[in-house]
Structure 1
Amino acid sequence: MLQDPSPSDYQFRLRDSLIGAQMLFVAFGALVLVPLLTGLDANVALFTAGAGTLVFQVLTRRMVPVFLASSFAFIAPILYGVQTWGVPATLCGLVAAGFFYVILSLFIRWRGVGTLQRLLPPVVTGPVIMVIGLVLAPVAVNLALGRSGDGAVELVARGPALLVSMGALTTVVLASLLGRGFVRLVPILLGIGVGYVLALPFGLVDFSGVRDAAWLALPAFVLPEWNWRAVLFIVPVAIAPAIEHFGDILAISSVTERNYLKNPGVHRTLMGDGLATILASSLGGPPNTTYSEVTGAVALTRLTNPAIMTWAALSAICLSFVDKLGALLRTIPTPVMGGIMLLLFGAILVVGLSSLARCGEDLMEPRNLAIISLIVVFGVGGMTFSAGQFVIEGIGLAGLLGVLLNLLLPRPSRSAREAR
């Protein structure tokens, strides 16, 4: 016989819902940053982050306390794709990246995690992550100086732009270094806030869009359109965040003292990530990934109940229907975003360097030297391969090249390694 919930049950649910809203606040700055930088809709990103987290929870039997939202690794390909093919075609490539995760998860279930680690070692994934940061660096500098991402158009005068961008950057750095507790978890949000306030006296903020926006409205969903060039360009980029996924699952396992690599299994977590990305990209949102900021909040609060992430996901979905929120986010001036991007894209580079430093390999060994150097130079230098209408370049080319070189280049014998 079913019993009615007791008052204490309602109290726990209310507490969990408030904590879940706090977890969303931790992720909010990074979550909306990706769509704001790439031209996607922030309200759609909120909706797909919430929906994607719920999909992940279903796949992992609600065992893992993580929140999924906009992936930074795809900023560069989305920027390029939107400028080259438009939003719907770019979404097609992002959907394909989600299917790549799904195929990879099935491969892991069949062959085990070790096989994937041999196929995609740090000497491949580390340089690919570095290329993402290096390719994005000029975009960050241009926006911080008040120009468009390609530097062709001046949007804001150089002086006010530098003051605003450096103020936002300084806030993020100080919050990261000196912040304590909750403050340290939301440096991007604080940076956006300070930059926004600095921009107001210069007249860089236009509130007309906020006044005209409705309070409640359906998010502006966009459906993907088939474009094989976008697929070939974006799918290789998914190699790096797929490997990072293991690090994220290891991190939350360490925080909760549970082995999620075994139960529910990394094949399930990666499958959840892939299906969440497919759902997000099919509706016009950026690809989803597990958020380390939220993992940090879990470590700080010691609240490891996955139900809290359910409430965070539901809060994101509810906020996505507040049209004035999306309009307000669109008023954030370009230099504010540029200042934050200076640190953000540099941090992506450092993640790649850290991956190489920790791998324990001799980076000057000829095979490793060839793989790393060619990935970086091809990716950053703008190398392009084409055959008829087939074209592959940039980060996609760098990722594919790294995988091929790792498979084809002969490995040194043990005697050769010992001789060195």
Structure 2
Amino acid sequence: MEEKRSNGAIYDVYERPPFPMLFGLSLQHLFSMFGATVLVPLVVGLNPGVAIFSSGVGTLLHMLITRGKIPAYMGSSFAFVIPMTSLMKSFGYPAVAQGVFSVGIIYLIVALIVAKAGSAWIDKIFPPAVVGPIVMVIGLSLAGSAATNATINSATNKYEIKIFIVALLTLAATIFYNMYFKGFLGMIPVLLGIITGYIFAIIFGLVDFQSVAQAHWFALPNFNSLFASKKLYPSAILDMAPLALVTISEHLGHIMVLNKITGRNFFRDPGLNKTLAGDGTASIAASLVGGPSVTSYGENIGVMQMSKVYSVWVIGGAAVLAVLLSFVGKLSALIQTIPGAVIGGVGFMLYGVIAAAGLQIIVDNKVDYSKKRNLMIAAPILVIGIGNFDLQLGNLEFTGVAMATVIGIVLNLVLPKVAASEK
């Protein structure tokens, strides 16, 4: 039986665009994820080329395990930056690799539990009154990052007006392309916005091509094996494995957004156990080659929402390009020269689009905020998530998004259907 098509989709989940169009759409996703995926290894001290390779391979593995049914891109996870940085300084990569491997194992264990328990419980703990605010938080929690990129020079940590101007010009270009271009160009407004912003960044002197000149055309990523050391690092496992619970909660939020924009229920088909297993396997693969732990990326979800292209072929194309790019030193170096001003300008649009998807869930399901129960659930979710009210227990840190998700679930389960004053 033919699968139902998503409303408004230009290319639906299972549809493959013609090759020239496929290449451009995939390149758009590659550019959107590149900055964050490269930033994590740069902060931790890992090889950026390996991180790019890991993201591509991890995405392809995720697609294989989910049977090509979910358009999700896997990129370097920021949730593990603190413990990975500490482990890298204290013990080197073998310890980091064991931590990343343990994260993948936790995902697989949770996936097995979900496979046994089924997914009927998801609808009970995630009604629209909970899902809508959480999806909004996923987008708006990234607003601070976009604002910093769009105003602060990362090298000097100082405000610069030219960075602000380039960010606004990038945003304006992205909006213009999204509103006034049709056909293929209308499907790649983010890519065109990044290219336009990059040209402005060159004009304003924000781009340094020295690293491109020094890079080789062919550069083998500095692969590092999980088995480089026979020593076991229990502290690495204890520091990183619990954080899998944080990214699992964020994973649920990303699946909710994908459900909304594609008109499907990925919790049921291919199943939450499959999506979790895909994420876990991607992290295990990263640990085998020297990469950081990976997770699904909100940036790419924002691109899909804007372009109305949900094709897994496009996501798969981006993954293949990432793998190839990891071996091309000059291209990798060139993309790394894209300044934060450009990333921030595009981020103003991408992150807001995700938040708008949460708002649409609330509107479509007619969530009534004159009812105190709905208001008491939404209010703390929004403030805790957007304000990044995180919980730190030693090296264990639960992000604001994770805390907002947990609190939303708990409030939905314990609050009465009707407040006493409304009876």
Report TM bin, short chain.
0.7 to 0.9
The one-character-per-residue Cα deviations of 1:263-303 (angstroms, maximum 9, x if unpaired) are: 65554344324423543477226423595588689977x9x
Offset, 1:383: 4.2
Distance 1:202 1:219, change over 3 A: same
Residue 244 (structure 1) aligns with: 254
Offset, 1:321: 0.8
Which of 70, 73, 80 is the matching residue for 1:68? 73
Residue 411 (structure 1) aligns with: 416
Offset, 1:116: 1.4
Question: Given the alignment of the two structures, is residue 153 of structure 1 paired with residue 160 of structure 2, yes or no?
Answer: no
Which of 173, 176, 184 is the matching residue for 1:182? 184
Offset, 1:342: 2.2
Question: Given the alignment of the two structures, is residue 52 of structure 1 paired with residue 58 of structure 2, yes or no?
Answer: yes
Cα RMSD over matched residues? 4.4
Question: Given the alignment of the two structures, is residue 288 of structure 1 paired with residue 296 of structure 2, yes or no?
Answer: yes
2:32 is aligned with what amino acid? A
Provide TM-score, normalisation by structure 2.
0.72
1:60-139 equivalence runs, <5 A? 60-61=66-67, 63-64=68-69, 66=71, 68-70=73-75, 77=79, 102-139=108-145
Q: Which moved more, 1:276-285 or 1:365-374?
A: 276-285
Question: Given the alignment of the two structures, is residue 397 of structure 1 paired with residue 403 of structure 2, yes or no?
Answer: yes
Offset, 1:97: 6.5
Query: Structure 2: which 5+ runs fail to align?
Result: 1-16, 227-234
Q: Which moved more, 1:220-229 or 1:262-271?
A: 220-229
Offset, 1:119: 2.3
2:364 & 2:238 partners in 1: Cα distance? 36
Q: Which moved more, 1:164-173 or 1:122-131?
A: 122-131
Q: Which moved more, 1:371-380 or 1:318-327?
A: 371-380
1:374 & 1:354 partners in 2: Cα distance? 19
1:359 & 1:84 partners in 2: Cα distance? 45
1:207 is aligned with what amino acid? F
The one-character-per-residue Cα deviations of 1:319-373 (angstroms, maximum 9, x if unpaired) are: 2211111211121222222222222333333233333333443334333322222
1:210 & 1:359 partners in 2: Cα distance? 50
Query: Structure 1: which 5+ runs fail to align?
Result: 1-14
Q: Which moved more, 1:25-34 or 1:385-394?
A: 385-394
DSSP-derived class of the 1:106 partner? helix
Distance 1:221 1:109, change over 3 A: same
1:67 & 1:248 partners in 2: Cα distance? 8
Contact 2:56/2:319 (<8 A) preserved: yes
Contact 1:31/1:70 (<8 A) preserved: yes
Residue 8 (structure 1) aligns with: none
Distance 1:232 1:166, change over 3 A: same
Distance 1:362 1:79, change over 3 A: farther
DSSP-derived class of the 1:287 partner? strand
Question: Given the alignment of the two structures, is residue 194 of structure 1 paired with residue 204 of structure 2, yes or no?
Answer: no
2:137 & 2:308 partners in 1: Cα distance? 31
Which of 317, 334, 341 is the matching residue for 2:340? 334
Question: Given the alignment of the two structures, is residue 357 of structure 1 paired with residue 363 of structure 2, yes or no?
Answer: yes
Distance 1:294 1:327, change over 3 A: same
1:90 & 1:132 partners in 2: Cα distance? 27
Provide TM-score, normalisation by structure 1.
0.73
Residue 7 (structure 1) aligns with: none
Question: Given the alignment of the two structures, is residue 272 of structure 1 paired with residue 275 of structure 2, yes or no?
Answer: no
Percent identical across equivalent pairs?
29
The one-character-per-residue Cα deviations of 1:73-124 (angstroms, maximum 9, x if unpaired) are: x66x467778888797999887776556545543443333331121233433
Question: Given the alignment of the two structures, is residue 28 of structure 1 paired with residue 30 of structure 2, yes or no?
Answer: yes
Contact 1:141/1:338 (<8 A) preserved: yes
1:312 & 1:381 partners in 2: Cα distance? 32
